[in-house]
């Protein structure tokens, strides 16, 4: 499928329809309903964005119905615990802002206030960087930037708390300064200030490799935050410049033949490495949105469009059951049994059609369609 075919035939709508149909028929409804978590939250957000873009009330009601199963009349959140101080638990809260603006119901605002309270009290490094979780002391992961910073930025904009927009910018800048490799311009997955973790270099505190999805989380975080920064914000231009410099580094490691990105970004051709779907979709989403909003120079257009074409050609299939996405890393992290080595990253299960991959594919498709329509 070409980009023109994907855009003209409404691929993003078919992706959303496929997922909603699977929820109704194959048990993924239970997955979304099971607990408040970052992947279901991203799925619901992507379906809601499809609803807004395609003027499809069914998609928006799908998101609201599932969110309402978690939000109590008093704004409490089923299965959520503030005391975990887990950045992953913030991500689903991004759906609260649209619900609050549309309905005016105070319970959505109260739930957002609860999540913001977690972030205000989140444990931090000595410089003020958020720990990824309370159980991961003094550790900053790129993943956490997507979970928390866009929520903070939008919360600050919606509720008139500009100091929280400042905090979102601060987190983006702190982790970039700590994890960016000056030689390649790529970002390491995590940093341990204490230098205690088995995966952390005893001198730098850095993990050993550049994991594509980790950089995808950061790329999406940057563009989603910038959308809520006022034009006069003193860090707006800096964050934009850092994002463009990072995209330049990503273009350098984009596979020349497929235009996709590898699971371990700078290890093309190494045994076991593979072209991975989620990172590729996240980079295309971030670049397409940044090009549309002029955060990126037009020179990145070719890399973004060829990346999306690579996704359609090499990773996406379609049949009577709907749209499918392949070569998805099921999950990866950093801990005692996840040591951040090259062998670790390539050993994680590679799967098809899991929610972790479908949501970035839908987000990327929506943004490419918007960008192409605006040209």
Catalytic entry in 143, 192, 224, 353: 143
User: Which tens digits make up the pLDDT trace of 14-36?
Assistant: 999 999 988 877 555 566 678 89
In this prediction, residue 375 carries a pLDDT of 83
The structural domains of the chain, ordered by start, are 3-373 (1.50.10.10)
Burial annotation 303-324 (CB, 10 A radius, 16+ → b, else e): bbbbbbbbbbebbbeeeeebbb
If one counts every other C-beta atom within 10 angstroms of the C-beta of residue 45, the result is 20
Q: Which residues pair with 324 in a beta bridge?
A: 317
User: Which tens digits make up the pLDDT trace of 95-129?
Assistant: 999 999 999 999 999 999 999 999 999 999 999 99
User: Which tens digits make up the pLDDT trace of 150-184?
Assistant: 999 999 999 999 999 999 999 999 999 999 999 99
Q: Based on the residue annotation, tell me whether 143 is a catalytic residue of this protein.
A: yes
Q: Are 36 and 89 in contact (CB under 8 A)?
A: yes
User: Which tens digits make up the pLDDT trace of 193-248?
Assistant: 999 999 999 999 999 999 999 999 999 999 999 999 999 999 999 999 999 999 99
- What number is the average pLDDT over the span 311-331? 97
In this prediction, residue 33 carries a pLDDT of 73
Q: What pTM value is reported for the model?
A: 0.97
């Amino acid at each position: 499928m070409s980009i023109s075919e994907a855009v003209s035939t409404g691929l993003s709508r078919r992706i959303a329809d496929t997922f909603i149909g699977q929820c109704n028929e194959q048990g993924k409804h239970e997955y979304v309903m099971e607990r408040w978590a970052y992947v279901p939250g991203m799925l619901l957000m992507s379906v809601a964005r499809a609803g807004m873009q395609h003027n499809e009330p069914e998609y928006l009601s799908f998101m609201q119905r599932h969110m309402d199963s978690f939000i109590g009349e008093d704004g409490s959140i089923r299965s959520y615990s503030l005391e975990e101080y887990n950045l992953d638990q913030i991500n689903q809260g991004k759906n609260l802002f649209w619900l609050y603006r549309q309905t005016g119901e105070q319970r959505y605002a109260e739930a957002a206030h609860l999540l913001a309270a977690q972030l205000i009290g989140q444990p931090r490094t000595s410089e003020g960087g958020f720990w990824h979780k309370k159980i991961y002391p003094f550790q900053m992961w790129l993943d956490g930037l997507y979970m928390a910073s866009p929520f903070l930025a939008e919360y600050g904009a919606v509720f008139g708390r500009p100091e929280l927009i400042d905090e979102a910018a601060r987190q983006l800048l702190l982790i970039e300064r700590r994890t960016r490799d000056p030689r390649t311009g790529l970002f390491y997955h995590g940093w341990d200030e204490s230098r205690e973790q088995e995966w952390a270099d005893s001198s730098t505190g850095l993990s050993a490799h550049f994991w594509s999805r980790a950089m995808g989380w950061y790329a999406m975080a940057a563009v989603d935050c910038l959308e809520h920064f006022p034009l006069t914000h003193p860090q707006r231009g800096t964050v934009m410049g850092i994002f463009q410099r990072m995209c330049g580094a990503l273009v350098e490691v984009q596979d020349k033949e497929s235009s996709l990105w590898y699971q371990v970004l700078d290890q093309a051709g190494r045994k076991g490495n593979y072209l991975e779907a989620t990172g590729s979709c996240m980079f295309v989403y971030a670049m397409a949105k940044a090009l549309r909003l002029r955060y990126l120079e037009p020179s990145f257009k070719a890399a973004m469009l060829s990346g999306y074409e690579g996704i359609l050609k090499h990773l996406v299939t379609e049949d009577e059951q709907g749209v499918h996405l392949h070569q998805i890393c099921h999950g990866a992290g950093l801990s005692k049994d996840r040591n951040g080595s090259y062998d670790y990253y390539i050993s994680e299960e590679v799967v098809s059609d899991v929610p972790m991959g479908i949501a970035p594919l839908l987000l990327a498709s929506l943004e490419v369609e918007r960008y192409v329509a605006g040209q």
